[in-house]
Structure 1
Amino acid sequence: MLWLYNISIHLYALLIRIFSTFNTKASLFIKGRKNIFTQIDQKIVAGERHIWFHFASLGEFEQGRTLLEKIKEHYPEKRIVITFFSPSGYEIRKNYPLAEGVFYLPLDTAVHAEKLIAAFNPEFAIFTKYEYWYHYFRELNKKNIPLLIISGIFRPNQVFFKVYGSFHRKILTFVSHFFVQNEESIQLLKTINIQNASLSGDTRFDRVAENAASVKRLALVNTFCGTAAVCIAGSTWPEDEELMGGLCVQHPDWKFIIAPHEIGEAHLKALEKIFPQAVKYSALAAADANQHQVLIIDNIGMLSALYAYGRLAYIGGGFGAGIHNTLEAAAFGIPVIFGPRYDKFQEAKDLIALGAAKSIGNPQELSNAFEELSTAAEKGDVAKAYVVSKTGSTDQILQYIARHFKP
């Protein structure tokens, strides 16, 4: 199976190179990895030990960020290095100040793994939620470097638990310890004879609770909102935005803030057609906020602060691969609505069970959910209490790491 895995990695590289001729993300993926080891040599002090954090993308960075920052707070002498797989993570956080260096992760080959780990000289490697790379994990194991998976989550339909998943199960044996989100993951790992797992919950709860407690007010957004009730639509895709367009017409007394997942020029133009009464954030300072019902956020990085202005939130992605982060909104004490594809997200199921969230599949269901949740302030309190009750994962992982740091 290893030969098939290696072929798939090289085939993936070829496909990305082809896509890079017409796709911006693919182009960044290729350009960012050009001369990657020269980039590393220029930034990393040779021979120094590091704590290596790897994140698939921006969402996983935010998920593991609290742990990273706690380590730096408690052990300021520790050097941290970060890798990203996706451009959407790297391009936003490439200048993150607490890291000695932030890099793209070279594709998983034996040569790359040996060179990268030799350069980073990790004292610990910490991967958030997922991404299981055979050569990187094997090389860490060979060098007796502890490898942690934090906020991990496993489901029965994953390849690890299939009769044909022996190769992928082998990858899991290279992990020193799994910190997982739920009891189901613990039990699933036991079925394949993996016992080194702890139920710690999800570090995202710590991150969103911390963010809600320290959020900075945004003067322009505050002016736009005024005294109106506000619905925040976060990380939206076209299917979500079409639904929100109808909702705006139904509720002219509300204001809406749309923070799309993609902010390319073509997408922003499409949004302006759906929301003709909108103003973009980049033009807000020169606009009369009272004349606009909708604010379109045309930058990246503001969403987590925007929920402070909401009475209700709509979370995008539920008509595609899966919903985005519901916890950011819930931490601010506002109920949430999202599309039908949320089965991979335990927090979404929990919020629905508590009555603090609704899943919808069409305009009528959205209208009904909006009417119900927008008039039930106590549901927001339930959402916030749920988030607070789930905090503490970061401290549990930090205690494990502290026991294993060498003096």
Structure 2
Amino acid sequence: MNRLVYLWFLRLMLPVVLVRLAWRGLRNPDYWQRIPERFGFIEPVTKQRVIWIHAVSVGEVRASAPLVRELSEHYPYHSLLITTMTPTGSAQVRALFVDKVAHCYAPYDYPSAIRRFLDRTKPVMTIVMETELWPNIFHLCRERGIPVFVTNVRMSDFSMRKYQRFASLARATLLQVSRFAAQSPADANRLMNLGAAPETVTVTGSIKFELNIGASMREAAEVLRLTWGQDRPVWLAASTHEGEEETVLMALAALKTQPRFANMLLVLVPRHPERFTAVARLCKKNFRIALRSETPGAIDPATEVLVGDTMGELQLFYGAADVAFIGGSLVPTGGHNLLEASALGKPVVFGPHMFNFQEISQMTLDRGAGVQVQSLDQLSAAVSDFLGNANRRDSVGEAGRKMVEENRGALTANMRLIEQLIK
């Protein structure tokens, strides 16, 4: 497929795009808000020297936080505009950055929408988090002399094979990018195999290691733990997807048959807000539950499952828990970032499907900072091992903390590349 065919395909798909947007709104009404923004109808940005940062959803927004912090410090006379594609990503921008950055939804990859967006924002640079490749956005930025920097790139074998189905379009798109910052040599090689110019690809490591865990957050986590119960074991299941909660709850039931875990608390945080209600209903079938949104203070000691139905608190939950299971890994979603838990010295457990974090998950295993499981029985055993053995829990958690600390440096490398481009 070349770009002309892609353009006609997009035009034919417009009714499907609108129907899908309406359908997603049935599950999350926030999708029905601010629809014009998705077609470039935004308020003109009056500030000069706009740096446009595109982060698709929650994970990318959280990953962008260290970069946003550095850009704000090094370029005080530039204004930062962050775009997302999802309402949860939008909420995460507000939670993390408050009023320090501007925000709107990114335009769909239609030329008219992109031109409208660029006319109203006039960015001096575009920074794209991870591997979001948009043919028309990249071409039109290049056409206007706006450098495009794709950072924190992860390109799994699965993603590479997907892009290879449209080899000519992928290559033409990659050639519009001014610079790539790849997480690992394997990611860099896959980019170049797809057609990226070798001179544009630099291996910088992952900026997800650049976590800033402040003293205030640690103190808040200690206070939260007191409200949960200092003496009861606490297991966090973070960013779970459909099909995982059942397994997690079965593991909980198995663990609670052991007297030492009879009073344990499971903190269950679904990845997508539109599933909060359904997951709470599922938990209520066999367990006594509480909702985080309704229980900000002390919880009843009889509570067995606390459903994390709020936004922006996951890092706090990691700090307050004893062990963390990383969701999206028992089902073929590709897993989620485990480094927030590791940075806080928490042992991590994850399933077989971590292809979105292949290098990081392998490093975690190599460093003894976590455990990979394949089944319900292995999940129960791994959580039991960590909750029942404080020395084991502390040593594995400390290995994770050291792993994060020793792999910092990607942020500095990224800022050097940005400095070259922004000049």
The TM-score normalised by the length of structure 1 is 0.89
**1:6 paired residue number:** 7
Q: Which sections of structure 1, spanning at least 5 residues, go unmatched?
A: none
Maintained 8 Å contact 1:220/1:284: no
Question: Which residue of 1 is the match for residue 258 of structure 2?
Answer: none
Structure 2 residue corresponding to 1:171, chosen from 160, 170, 173: 173
Look up the match of 1:302. Answer: 313
- Matching of residue 215 in structure 1 with residue 217 in structure 2: yes
Query: Counterpart of 1:40?
Result: 43
Report the CA distance between 1:404 and its aligned residue: 4.1
The aligned counterpart of 1:130 is 131
Q: 2:238 matched to 1:228?
A: no
SS at match of 2:346: coil
CA distance in 2, matches of 1:285, 1:97: 21
The yes-or-no answer on 1:200 pairing with 2:204 is: yes
Matches within 5 A, 1:242-391: 242-249=246-253, 250=255, 251-264=261-274, 266-274=277-285, 276-284=287-295, 288-318=299-329, 319-345=331-357, 346-374=359-387, 375=389, 376=392, 377-391=394-408
CA distance in 1, matches of 2:224, 2:99: 29
8 Å CA contact 1:180–1:201 kept in 2: the answer is yes
2:42 is paired with a residue of what secondary structure?
helix
State the percentage of identical aligned residues.
Answer: 22
Deviation of 1:350 (Å): 1.5
Residues 242 and 274 in structure 1, CA contact (< 8 A), matched pair in contact too: no
Asked if the contact 2:41–2:117 (Cα under 8 Å) also holds between the matched residues in 1, the reply is no
C-alpha displacement of 1:224: 1.3
CA contact (8 A) 2:188 2:201 kept: yes
The structure-2 alpha-carbon separation of the partners of 1:99 and 1:113, relative to structure 1 and needing over 3 Å to count, comes to farther
Residue 101 of structure 1 corresponds to 102
- Contact residue 54 and residue 126 of structure 1 kept, 8 A: yes
Asked if the contact 1:327/1:387 (under 8 Å) is kept, the reply is: yes
Aligned length: 401
Q: After superposition, what is the alpha-carbon deviation per residue over 1:263-314, rounded to whole angstroms, capped at 9, x for unaligned?
A: 4463144243255222222332576532223322121111111111122111
Aligned to 1:237: 241
1:183 alignment partner AA? P
Shift of the alpha carbon at 1:162? 3.4
CA positional deviation for 1:253: 3.8
**Hey, what's the Cα distance between the residues in 1 that align with 2:137 and 2:40?**
15
Query: Distance in 2 between the 1:11 and 1:305 partners?
Result: 45
Give the 3-state SS of the residue equivalent to 2:90 in structure 1: helix
Contact kept? 1:278, 1:296, Cα under 8 Å: yes
Distance in 1 of aligned mates of 2:401 and 2:161: 35
> For structure 2, which runs of at least 5 residues remain unmatched after alignment?
256-260
1:404 & 1:193 partners in 2: Cα distance?
17
Q: If the length of structure 2 is used for normalisation, what is the TM-score?
A: 0.86
Moved more, 228-237 or 364-373: 364-373
Give the match for residue 189 of structure 1. 191
The equivalent of 1:60 in structure 2 is: 60
Amino acid at match of 2:42: Q
Q: Deviations over 1:113-160 (max 9, x none)?
A: 222222221111100001111111111112222110110122345158
CA–CA distance in 2 between the matches of 1:329 and 1:255? 18
For 1:175, the aligned partner's letter is V
Q: Residue 419 of structure 2 corresponds to which residue in structure 1? A: 402
Out of 91-100 and 112-121, give the one that drifted further: 91-100
Contact (CA 8 Å) 1:256, 1:293: kept in 2 or not?
yes
TM-aligned CA distance change 1:336 to 1:285, over 3 Å = closer
- The verdict on how the C-alpha distance between 1:212 and 1:357 changes in structure 2, with shifts beyond 3 A counting, is farther
C-alpha distance in structure 1 between counterparts of 2:297 and 2:52, whole Å: 44
* 1:63–1:203 contact (8 Å) kept in structure 2: yes
Shift of 1:352: 1.9
SS of equivalent to 1:259: strand
How far apart are the structure 1 equivalents of 2:310 and 2:225? Answer: 13
State which drifts further: 114-123 or 330-339: 114-123
Q: 1:180–1:199: 8 Å Cα contact kept in structure 2?
A: yes
* Paired amino acid for 1:182: S
Contact 2:346 2:397 in 1 (8 A): yes
Going from structure 1 to structure 2, the CA distance change for 1:101 and 1:64 (only over 3 Å counts) comes to: same
Q: Does the 8 Å CA contact 2:283/2:305 hold for their aligned counterparts?
A: no
Structure 1 window deviating more from structure 2 (25-34 vs 169-178): it is 25-34
Greater mean deviation of Cα atoms: 86-95 or 51-60: 86-95
C-alpha distance 90-193 of structure 1, shift in aligned 2 (>3 A): closer
Q: Residue 10 and residue 127 in structure 1: after superposition, are their counterparts in 2 closer, same or farther (change >3 A)?
A: same
What RMSD over aligned residues (CA atoms) do the two structures have, in Å?
2.5
SS of residue in 2 equivalent to 1:239: coil
Give yes or no for contact 1:53–1:81 (8 Å, CA) kept in 2: yes
Secondary structure of the 1:211 match is: coil
